[in-house]
Structure 1
Amino acid sequence: MADVVDLICYPVKGCRGTSVRDAFLTPAGLAHDRSFMVVSEDGVYRTQRHHPRLALIQPTVSHDGSRLTLDSADTASGCGRVHLDVTTLAPRRDVDLFGATFQGIDQGDEAAAWLSEFLGTASRLVRVPPGHDRIADGWIPGTSGYADSSAVHLLSRSSLTLLNRRMATEYGAPPLPMDRFRPNIVVDSGRGRDGDRDGGDWADVAHAEDRVRRVCIGAAELGYAKLAVRCAVTLVDQEAGARHGPEPLRTLARYRRSPSGGVVFGAKFSVVRPGKLSVGDEVVVQEWGEAES
């Protein structure tokens, strides 16, 4: 047994997420997740790897996707907020995402001016066009917007608890919050009717999500794609919009190295069946596999 304890949508790639109680899981992930992306004037993607101040931008998208608000969490910036009418009719342009060419719909000069001032470098905002046909690879491939790879990132609290314990024991490092890893779905062990935790739940075991191959949550079904390879974004303090120290990569390198390269933490999933998700939904594993080695 396990339950959903948080659902987080990131409308603009690299910017802050928003926790929601309910969400519709589309074929490309949570509704509106990574449907916008900040790019250079040449169309090259921007992420927190090189622009950590993206973490200080709070996007809010209307339910129907027709309005987008960008709000500054840095009161000293003087940028305030900007309200945008989302367009899907403007001309498409090529955009670069990790060296692959896709299409984007430019959201106009007002969005570009606000982002350029806030980030201190010329930037523009693009939206995934209708008919976006990107397919992310993996054990079960699936469609995806402007996410790094697969549509959904799932992580258990027990995995973070183990990481924080190892950081404290091995380096005396303080614990990190879940937002360092920017998951879409956070799971924890199930609760009994009296509100106490049930013993023996799979989510009590750190990194059990690595072995989940098919899982039903609410009305939706997910299929395992791959382990989540971690990058320098995990070094960014999401409240400060700046890099701080070597953690968690230093500790992850001691016990979570992938044979194919890099360190892994959490798992990526494709959407097998769209449907509504809610915080509190039971996470029912339909098929288990072996952890990748």
Structure 2
Amino acid sequence: MTQNSHQVASAMDQISLNHLNLDFNSIFLLTVTICAFLIPVVVILPPIPVRKSDALLQTHSKAGVEGAKSNLRNQFDPSHAPRDGHPPTVHSLVIYPVKSCRGIEVTRSKVLPAGLEFDRLFTLAQLKSPFPVAVDASDEDKGRHSWHFVTQRQFSRLATVQVDLWLPDEMKLRKQSMRTREAFLIMRFPWRESGWRGVLSVLAAKLGQGLAAQPEKEIFLPVDFPSEAEIAEKGYTYDDVTIWKDTVRALNMGKELPEELGRYLGVSNKLSLFRIDPAALREVYRCAPRKETAGYQPVTGFQDAYPLHLINLSSMQKFSADVPKDEDMKELNVLRFRANMILSGAPAYEEETWKRIRLRPGSSRLYNDAAFHVSCRTVRCKMPNVDPVSGFRHASEPDKSLRTYRAVDEGAPRLGCLGMQLTPLFDPSLGEDDRESWIAVGMTVDVEERGEHVYMKQ
């Protein structure tokens, strides 16, 4: 009986083992079959969340040039030095739709009284309380808050906030049997959620945009100033916002900002987004031409002081040679200085002798001129210390070198200057709605008037 029992037990163990092998083999085959089916599906149709900006691919095209097409790839090349018999040319154009965020390099741009089209339409601002407050100040004074613009000077990560401009594409619209003239901005900043959501967001970013991609949050903004009905519907408000010493009434669109943006930037106060009101632009005086000279009152949006900013690559290269380099700054990118118009072929610092210039068509394929009053030098703060790609703030440069080598304006003692501020000029016969011109890469610079510059403080 004992021997028979052992034989029966052994047979049962063998049967169980066979069943186990069968189950394992079945599970393995099933897993392989599922993977073989899912992998091509995931590659062709990756399971990534749909973004608002994805819809724009059907009707709009992204403005600007990037990567290998950028004219600024050769900004350090000696070819930007002046050449006998050749006038200076426009080498690159850059717009900054959201003040202090990343810019967009373009090949051409419309010039309006307030500056380049789409430039500095928005600014971020924080709500600040008065400080210090007198002991005997009233409760009203102690509780008074005001909006103040923010830049990379305080929050260097603004340099890493990407801004894309999407413009209507006629060919795409025809295919969709649609018509629209609306343009949109997409603000994007790196953001990873905590926990399993963060893991999924990383996976989705890499599946959708490549292995180097990181998860982001995006903010979808219409470019056109909203109607009163849209303002009421969205719950926007008009509030005062301070830019340097100017205070302007602008549209508070803070409802469009996710709270994560403030955390990403490191802003502890309440953060909001303001849109300049085209009917309430800031009037420009100081070194700008008077209304009698320009034929209109010079104005600007959320630019620091003047409508446009010009910089000369020869000047940049000469100044850069005086700036000590280290591991934190191996080269001085011209984008640190956030100019709109970047020139090639002018002698170093010659732009500081210009008072009036005219851009002529050159190789730009444009047929009209564009005139500008060269209003004053650009007095520099510490913002160029921030790397425009990484957002890293250098401890001292180039601010220290600017103050050492470029304190050249008697109106701004002990302050460094680099670049020039411009005010657009238009045919005096043009009406208010017709004041516009175009500029493009390849235009040549004709200096019509020269003179001295003395900076006037705000």
- What TM-score does the superposition give when structure 1 sets the normalisation length? 0.86
Which residue identity lines up with residue 137 of structure 1 in the other structure?
Y
Asked if structure 2 preserves the Cα contact closer than 8 Å seen for 1:152 and 1:270, the reply is: yes
1:276 pairs, out of 438, 443, 450, with 438
2-structure distance, mates of 1:76, 1:182: 29
CA-CA distance at 1:254 after TM superposition: 2.1
Alpha-carbon distance between aligned partners in 2 of 1:281 and 1:17, rounded to the nearest angstrom = 21
> Would you say 1:61 and 2:165 are equivalent positions?
yes
Contact 2:166 2:183 in 1 (8 A): yes
- Equivalent residue number for residue 451 of structure 2: 289
Rounded to whole Å, the distance in 2 between the matches of 1:225 and 1:97 is 20
Moved more, 129-138 or 229-238: 129-138
Kept in 2: contact 1:214–1:221 (CA 8 A):
yes
Provide the aligned C-alpha RMSD in A. 2.4
2:240 to 71, 74, 94: 94
Of 314, 317, 321, the residue aligned with 1:158 is 314
Give the count of matched residue pairs.
277
- The structure richer in helix per residue is 2
Shift of 1:108: 4.2
Match of 1:206 in 2: 348
**SS where residue 250 of structure 2 aligns?**
strand
Percent of residue pairs bearing the same amino acid type: 28
> SS of the counterpart of 1:116?
helix
Give the partner amino acid of 1:263: G
The structure carrying a bigger strand percent of its residues is: 1
Deviations 1:226-258 (A, max 9, x none): 110000101111112121131112222222113
Cα pair 2:182 2:222 within 8 Å, conserved: no
Q: Say whether the 8 Å CA contact 2:376–2:453 is kept in structure 1.
A: no
| Corresponding residue for residue 230 of structure 1 | 380
Task: Check if 1:11 corresponds to 2:97.
Answer: yes
Between the aligned partners of 2:262 and 2:186, the Cα distance in structure 1 is 16
Structure 2 matches for 1:247-262, cutoff 5 A?
247-257=397-407, 258-259=409-410, 260-261=412-413, 262=415
Structure 2 CA distance for aligned equivalents of residues 126 and 228 of structure 1: 25
- Give the aligned partner of residue 241 of structure 1: 391
1:40 partner SS: strand
Partner of 1:131: 279
**What TM-score, normalized to structure 2?**
0.57
Deviations 1:60-107 (A, max 9, x none): 2344664221012x4668543222235533332111111321011122
Letter in structure 1 aligned against 2:396 = P
Q: Any unmatched runs of 5+ in structure 1?
A: 190-202
In the alignment, which of 262, 273, 286 is matched to residue 116 of structure 1? 262
**Shift of the alpha carbon at 1:137?**
2.5
TM superposition shift of 1:133: 3.2
Kindly state the Cα deviation for residue 119 of structure 1 after the two structures are TM-superposed: 1.8
- Give 2:60's aligned residue: none
